[in-house]
Amino acid sequence: MKLSKLALALATGVAFGLPGVAAAQMMSKDAHDATYKSADAQYKSEKDACGKMSGNAKDICMEEAKGKQKIAKADADAAFENTPKKREAARLARADTAYAVAKEKCDDLAGNPKDVCVKEAKAAYVKAKGDAHVDRVAADSHSTAVEKTADAKRDAVEDKRDADYTVAIEKCDALASTAKDTCVRDAKTRFGKS
């Protein structure tokens, strides 16, 4: 699986809040505390396993371990407090983790492919953050729902378009001369840039 497909798959999982946040049910304080302890124990175990690795594989392993801990705790907070803000935080934990892991995987590449990989990871991250924010605003009972949701959607669409434009321009950098100029011009037209 190409890394860009991986980033898309991770972003899709983030966009739908999978798996823990979707079924955010109230959690008792004891269950919340137990989840935190379990996440810490799991992190320690995975960190020890990562310690036996070397190079970028170790870096990827560590980001995955830290991310799992962060996600588990954010899911526990979302289930315990059951508020739109905590559900957003859980989705953002997934986005942060996916982005950190994807960036580490990009380190296995070099040159323009690495640059494109990083930009694609960033684009998936921006999209996931935007989607999480839109959903929180829409669910937040303290907002003037229609107006704030429309503003949040507009901002998210703009952020996503800018992120996609950055990826397209980075891909153009691998081309030469006329092909590069055409690629840049097409990207500007497609994403409404001057």
Domain segments of the chain as ranges? 3-190
Res 7: pLDDT = 43
What is the C-alpha end-to-end distance of the chain, expressed in Å? 35
Nearest one of 128, 130, 126, 139 to 167, comparing CA atoms? 126
SS3 142: coil
C-alpha span between 73 and 63 (Å, rounded)? 15
**What are the mean pLDDT values of the chain's consecutive 10-residue runs (194 residues total)?**
42 40 66 95 97 96 97 95 91 96 96 95 93 82 62 81 90 91 91 83
Contact 71, 77 (CB under 8 A): no
Res 118: pLDDT = 95
Residue 97 token pair:
């983790």
Nearest one of 69, 70, 78 to 31, comparing CA atoms? 78
Has this prediction a pTM greater than 0.95?
A: no
Res 4: pLDDT = 45
Burial code (b: 16+ CB inside 10 Å, e: under 16) for 2-41 equals ebbebbbebbebbbebeebbeebeebeeeebeebbeebee
Separation in Å, CA 112 to CA 7, 25, 50: 17, 45, 29
Res 12: pLDDT = 38
Res 25: pLDDT = 57
Res 88: pLDDT = 92
